[in-house]
Amino acid sequence: GENVEQHPSTLSVQEGDSAVIKCTYSDSASNYFPWYKQELGKGPQLIIDIRSNVGEKKDQRIAVTLNKTAKHFSLHITETQPEDSAVYFCAATPQGNNRLAFGKGNQVVVIP
């Protein structure tokens, strides 16, 4: 099955700086890659996603890039703010089903 790994596990950034989280996946058949943000004690919230026919997608301060050849995708957060502090999960799923395989999460801390 699909195996997703996230790096680094913890990331601290100064407010206003950029944060980048990278995920690698193992199944070349995977074609959908969402990113979720989870605040303490709450359910994950989808913040951005990308499909395999697109190399990059942007939504205001958040962007996701996909490198299918290298089998990795990254979340980019620009102009970080304290409310960006959370755990971020990446996931991947092969075409034909919604059985998401999640990474273990990345704790992002934005220092005011």
Partner 1 sequence: DGGITQSPKYLFRKEGQNVTLSCEQNLNHDAMYWYRQDPGQGLRLIYYSQIVNDFQKGDIAEGYSVSREKKESFPLTVTSAQKNPTAFYLCASSISAVGNTIYFGEGSWLTVV
**Interface contacts to partner 1, rule CB under 8 A:** 1, 4, 32, 34, 36, 41-46, 49, 89, 91, 95-100, 102-105
Q: To the nearest whole angstrom, how small is the minimum distance from the Cβ of residue 10 to partner 1?
A: 11
Q: To the nearest whole angstrom, how small is the minimum distance from the Cβ of residue 8 to partner 1?
A: 14
Can you tell me the distance from the alpha carbon of 10 to that of 88, in angstroms, rounded to the nearest whole number? 10
Q: To the nearest whole angstrom, how small is the minimum distance from the Cβ of residue 77 to partner 1?
A: 20
Q: To the nearest whole angstrom, how small is the minimum distance from the Cβ of residue 31 to partner 1?
A: 8
Length of the chain measured in residues: 112
**Bridge pairing between strands 45-51 and 56-59:** unpaired
Instruction: Closer to partner 1 by CB, 81 or 95: give it.
Output: 95
Phi (first) and psi of residue 39, to 5 degrees? -90, 160
Angle formed at CA 27 by CA 25 and CA 28, multiple of 5 degrees: 105
Instruction: Closer to partner 1 by CB, 12 or 18: give it.
Output: 12
Instruction: Closer to partner 1 by CB, 49 or 71: give it.
Output: 49
Determine the 3-state secondary structure of 16 from DSSP.
Answer: coil
